[in-house]
Amino acid sequence: MFSKLSVVVASALITLAAATPTTVPVTPPTSDQCCQTVVDSSSTAAGKVLSLLGIDLGIITIPVGLNCSPLTVLGNNCGDITTRCDAPEIEWGGLIAINCIPITIPI
């Protein structure tokens, strides 16, 4: 009787393990940007740009870069704030970049 029970339990566990979806964490692509300013997404300045572009971040608060242009050459003299941002699926004409973290690029 116990051998039948152990076979049933083992079969059930194998079935559950096979049916359990596995996810691989996906790191969004990043983009080095030169931004005039980096502000919180809940700020008035960011709110105006986000609403103009029809972007709704809901209650998420993240750092956003305003008036950004991509850095294409290592050591590019930014003159403003050099950041690493999430690469956008849609380009917004340099008005805004999402999830920007200031970085230092060695020269």
What is the rounded distance in angstroms from the CA atom of residue 78 to the CA atom of residue 24? 35
Q: How many CB atoms lie within 10 A of CB 20?
A: 7
Place of tokens 């200031």: 102
Name 81's bridge partners.
35
104 pLDDT above the threshold of 90 = no
Q: What is the pLDDT of residue 39?
A: 94
Which pLDDT tens digit goes with each residue over 1-56? 555 555 444 554 455 455 555 565 566 678 888 899 999 999 999 999 989 888 88
pTM (two decimals): 0.64
Coil/strand/helix, residue 53: coil
Domain boundaries, the chain: 30-102
